[in-house]
């Protein structure tokens, strides 16, 4: 899927799998000041969540940390305060992830960009 997907989607999937963050309420609105990549161990402070119990510190694996360090180098806080900034409006985060994921899946499965029967 990496060959068809935008880079942010690969980073997002890695973050979700490695941390268990909720995509819409926790991962997408994540801001760089809440991602502590220079601390040991590296962690994320979840400040927005579906519930009060979701407000927490999430520890990062070495792999997730390296992916986020690389991502920060290419699209870091100088571009936007968001880890996953909107490509059109950098002062907000990505919101249309579902449609793009469906398009990528269809392209990969069918090779045409759509499902066939």
Mean pLDDT, consecutive 10-residue stretches, the chain (117 aa), reads: 74 95 93 95 92 92 97 87 88 75 52 46
The three-point CA angle 107-1-48 to 5° equals 110
State the pLDDT at residue 117: 36
Give me the pLDDT at residue 114, please. 47
What's the CA dihedral at 101, 58, 32, 75 to 10 degrees? Answer: -40
Tokens 């997730």 identify what position?
Answer: 64
Write down the pLDDT at residue 36: 97
């Amino acid at each position: 899927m990496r060959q068809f997907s935008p880079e942010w989607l690969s980073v997002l999937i890695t973050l979700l799998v490695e941390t268990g963050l909720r995509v819409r309420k926790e991962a997408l609105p994540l801001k760089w000041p809440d991602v502590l990549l220079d601390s040991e161990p590296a962690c994320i402070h979840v400040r927005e969540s579906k519930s009060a119990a979701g407000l927490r510190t999430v520890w990062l694996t070495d792999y997730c940390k390296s992916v986020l360090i690389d991502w920060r180098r290419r699209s870091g806080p100088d571009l936007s305060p968001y880890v996953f900034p909107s490509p059109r409006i950098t002062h907000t985060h990505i919101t249309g992830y579902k449609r793009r994921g469906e398009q990528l899946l269809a392209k990969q499965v069918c090779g045409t960009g759509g499902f066939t029967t």
